[in-house]
Amino acid sequence: MDEVTLDPLIVFTPSGKRGRFPIGTTVLNAARQLGVDLDSVCGGRGICSKCQIQPAYGEFPKHGIAVTPSALSNWNETEERYKRKRGLKEERRLGCQAIIQGNVVIDVPPESQVHQQVIRKAASTHQITMNPATKLYFVNVAPPDMKSPVGDYERLKQSLHEQWKLDKISTHLSLVSKIQTVLRKGNWQVTVAIFSDHQNTEPQIIDIWPGLHEAGLFGLAVDLGSTTIAAHLTNLNSGEVVASAGRMNPQIRFGEDLMSRVSYAMMNPNGYKEMTNVVRQALCELTEEMTEKSEIDATLIVEAVIVGNPVMHHLFLGIDPIELGQAPFALATSNSMTISALDLSLDGMNSLGQVYILPCIAGHVGADAAAVALSEKPERSDKLTLIVDVGTNAEILLGNNKRLTACSSPTGPAFEGAQISAGQRAAPGAIERVEISPETKEPRFKVIGSNLWSDNDGFHDALEEIGISGICGSGIIEAVAEMRLAGIIDKSGLIGSAEQIGNNRSIQDGRTHSYLIYESNTNDGFKIAITQSDVRAIQLAKSALYAGIKLLMDEIGAEQVDHVILTGAFGAHISTKHAMVLGMIPDADLKNVTSSGNAAGTGSLIALCDISARAQIETLVRQIVKIETAIEPKFQEYFIAANAIPHQTDLFPNLTKVISIPNRSFNVGKHGNNKNRRRRKSRSN
């Protein structure tokens, strides 16, 4: 029998959308058919360059494909002409010119997306003590004297000792080479920036200016997430955040979740170096964006503090993360580190600037969790506090002033809109809020870019320019929770038929049903529906999260928690009520369930501005009890029980006091999924 030859598979990141297309299809046409957010205004003639894409090559175990350089057609004359006249970044192609010839993974960079993503990672406002590691010192330096042949650098150090009591000062050769010019330009009066951290290392001269330098110094607080990178340019004198910027982590094209990226590193020689290069370049581009926005000289950025989960931590440092993909999940280094920007190829800041990396807590609990602890300070509370940094890899802290525990849970990207049929990242046009009437089963929703609900007058006029393009993470959470509250899905997560729920918005979708949220009134047939697969994806993600929390509660010996804090780019923007209805978090008094913004980003900001905070977190990390969910025997048991919405066995008395959850079951009767299903007879060999 002849083998069936399948058309090539094309996978788009960061959307996660995929499909098979005949050889000869352009990437742009494939994107349009799949509803991928890829811009084009010239009709595919290779003129506008809006459809720039970046193919990724190598082994992709998650997608079950290997991508070779022959997956796309060769570079053509149109692309060459465009690059020659207007420039095209290395490895970029024009989607309208690149023709599919084999399985391929395509990344759509931020500038090629019609709907620019909203990076929801602003650092929260905290009262911060200003005690930065790098400070300015104004000194008078004695001019040279033929009777005392001492070098200019040595006389500068002597002046710093006499006037500021600074000893054992060092610097880089590149700065020594400019000292003479600056001293003479300043008529022997100069301002120097000196880095001296909490570890009592030798003070280092970072830069020098003639006369009195009054422009100040700046630093970067960076939250390096699996999905998004957020950076905050901060005044090191006042602590003011003068500019913020964020973008998708470009590593997504190598894998949406952490283990996919580890697999890419395993399967592709030097694959980890590719991921290191793209994330460092992204940070440089973010820094350039912020300096242009704030009109600040990049050489004045003399410090950076960076936090991230262990895989992001290793990849940023240029360390192969392969050991983090297998037990015992060994870190190459867990301690904090201070490294020069020069060694990290961060050309967006002062080359002699210093980069501080917070310590990691464990093999799957990283420096970002340490930053969350620094921001929220659970160790200072007598109340049992649960802190959940919700993301592709959820990191969880539970404890109080007696004991603090931590773990991570592999929730995957569903919470952020990936692996959802109409899912997308948070961007203008994405549904972000959903309400469903329990009586009529009719939905109303809000879209990013408008303050109006869909049933308000003027809603469609307000959205005429941005349109409705999909549903983001907060929207999918609210939609599934509202479907449960309205009796559209039962405790097991099964969507009822139109007859069972009493509304034709439940539509037949193969052997299951989908619930229609939105349908375009144009002829394009565009729909946004919550499918049974979407519900299952959310169930799997929330079950992993809840199971991790249960393991920490076991470790503490607690039956309930007093306070729940949701953090992170996603966690800070979801409804706490809907999170509990889904069973993402354990039962608690809803008034004690709060969101705290980007706590990891805030922690990095605190560490940037106050070196004593660095010492505090280094001490605290050594005291945290770490739980490795991957090897805990009860994880699977807790995971299965948490599949129900909100839970199979755990009661939610605080929640049910204020919210009524219907007791429905759709897995019976004429329209049930199992009753009329034919049992497959086992075949004996």
What is the rounded CA–CA span in Å between residue 478 and residue 539?
Answer: 13
Predicted confidence band of residue 227 (pLDDT cuts 50, 70, 90) = confident
Digit-coded pLDDT (tens) for 44-64? 777 777 889 999 999 888 788
Instruction: Give the containing element (helix H, strand E) for 424.
Output: none
Residue 112 pLDDT more than 90?
no
Within 10 angstroms of residue 623's Cβ, the number of other Cβ atoms is 10
Closest listed residue to residue 101, CA positions, set 71, 74, 57, 75? 71
pTM value is: 0.81
Lowest mean pLDDT among 35-49, 215-229, 284-298, 483-497: 35-49
What integer is the mean pLDDT of 430-451? 95
Instruction: Please give the pLDDT value at position 148.
Output: 79
Residue 177 CB coordination number (10 Å): 10
For position 681, what pLDDT does the model report? 38
The answer to whether residue 683 scores a pLDDT higher than 50 is no
Query: pLDDT class for 630, splitting at 50, 70, 90?
Result: confident
Across residues 245-259, what is the average pLDDT? 85
Q: What is the pLDDT of residues 147-164, one digit of tens each?
A: 878 999 999 999 999 999
Name the one residue in this structure whose structure tokens are 């992204």: 282
d(CA 437, CA 423): 23
What is the arithmetic mean of pLDDT over 319-333?
91
DSSP state of 668: S
pLDDT digits (tens, 9 = 90+) for 234-244: 999 989 999 99
Confidence of residue 654 (pLDDT cuts 50, 70, 90): very high
Which residues, listed in sequence order, are joined to residue 231 by a DSSP beta bridge?
222, 245
Q: What is the mean pLDDT of residues 128-143?
A: 92
Span 347-372, average pLDDT: 93
pLDDT of residue 3: 46
The arithmetic mean of pLDDT across residues 647-651, rounded, is 94
DSSP letter for 542, please.
H
- The per-residue pLDDT for range 493-547, each reduced to its tens digit, is 999 999 999 999 999 999 999 999 999 877 667 889 999 999 999 999 999 999 9
| pLDDT at residue 418, rounded to an integer | 66
Does the CA dihedral 389-394-400-402 come out positive or negative? negative
74 Cβ contact partners less than 8 Å away, ≥ 6 residues apart: none
Q: What is the mean pLDDT of residues 311-316?
A: 96
Mean of the pLDDT values across residues 425-450? Answer: 92
Q: Mean pLDDT, to the nearest integer, of 298-324?
A: 96
- List of E strands, 215-276: 218-224, 228-235, 241-248
Q: How many whole angstroms from its chain centre is CA 311?
A: 13
Average pLDDT, the chain: 89
Nearest to 387 by CA among 616, 614, 231, 548: 548
**Residue 357 pLDDT more than 60?**
yes
Quick: pLDDT tens for 658-680: 999 999 899 865 444 444 443 44
Q: Give the closest residue to 189 by CA, choosing from 213, 215, 220.
A: 213
- Per DSSP (E only), the strands in 546-620 are 563-567, 593-595
Q: What are phi and psi of 19, to 5 degrees?
A: -175, 165
The span from the CA of 599 to the CA of 456, in Å, is 34
Res. 278: pLDDT tops 70? yes
Residue 428: CB atoms within 10 A of its CB come to 18
Contacts of 669 (CB under 8 A, 6+ apart): 500, 675
For residue 520, which phi and psi values (nearest 5 degrees)?
-65, 145
Nearest to 99 by CA among 63, 65, 35, 55: 55
Residue 202 and residue 172 in contact, taking contact as beta carbons nearer than 8 Å:
no
Encode burial over 144-176: b for 16+ CB neighbours within 10 A, e otherwise.
beeeeeeebbebbbebbeeebebeebebeeebe
The top-scoring range by mean pLDDT among 76-85, 102-111, 209-218, 434-443 is 434-443
Higher-scoring residue by pLDDT: 54, 573: 54
